[in-house]
Amino acid sequence: MFRKTKIGLALGAGGARGLAHIGVLKAMERVGIRISFISGSSIGALVGGLYAHCLNAAELENLVPEIMNNDFFRKAGLPLMRQVFHDQPEGFSQRLETFIKKAYVQALIATRPAILDTSTFKAMIDYIVPDINIEDLPLPFCALSTDLRSGRPVLFRHGPLRDAIYASTAIPGAISPLKMNNLLLADGGILNMVPVQPLFSMGADLVYAVNVEMEALFKGNESNMKAIDILYRIEDIKSDVLKEAQLNAANLVLSPKLGRIHWSDFSRATEMIQIGYDEIIKCLDEMRNLARRRIFPLKNRKKFKMEFAFDWIEI
């Protein structure tokens, strides 16, 4: 007698674009695809951890406007991030205001460990995330972070859910790293944009990976490239190569069509949730066909495995 296929869902990093994960979960609930394990990096850890607790995508969807209208969201400085890194003002006064804000942010980068107010961000995490240990969640969950001291990924499978989500969402330069167990923990997306491999170690037979990262397009003018343009492009290339290696370990990669929506643009939450929902409906037949299999090929996971990326420290 065959046992039920155990499905793992890996939710990737991507800032506000990760709100599409809620739509993915909502659609999977509606069509009856049940997951046995869930993992996440950065925003994926936040959505995944909350879902592992409530098991209700509609509840997460209703939580989004509540968070965005809460004083914690404003005081943490997240709207400032959008204005500085995303908005393209037209008028002179708006351009001047944005210039001043960028200068202010640059001063913070040069004088403080983080742009955003750490205590307020921590309070926001405590407000959003329930006070529960990961091992007590009704759905097995893990979150990825990065130890800035050793340069190794850190896998959270036990301990306070709030600590795991803070550590996984601590964007370098924006949010102060979390000091824990002689580790200095920052955003999980540094080394694990989409944490596929941990789900196999937890017992998944197959893994659906959700990639919400914006494609890193080459935008430089070759005749007028500056050193900073080259450095940014090098980082994009390294990040893409690592991400693709991790995605190749998944049985199916889901990529919601988020276009050029910026990682800091939380104002388009409703649209992004719907885009995530639509991606599942589009890929439904393929997902169901995979779930009906009893034997899954391992060649991709062996061929593309990168030991330095998956040799994690477990907490």
Residues annotated as part of the active site: 42, 187
Q: How far is CA 232 from CA 17, 194, 253, in A?
A: 21, 21, 26
198, HSE (Cβ side, Cα atoms, 13 Å): 31
Q: Return the DSSP state at 50.
A: H
Helix (H, G, I), strand (E, B) or coil at 43: helix
DSSP calls for 121-145: HHHHHHHHS-S-BGGGSSS-EEEEE
Residues 6+ apart with CB under 8 A from 149: 182, 183, 184
| Phi (first) and psi of residue 311, to 5 degrees | -85, 75
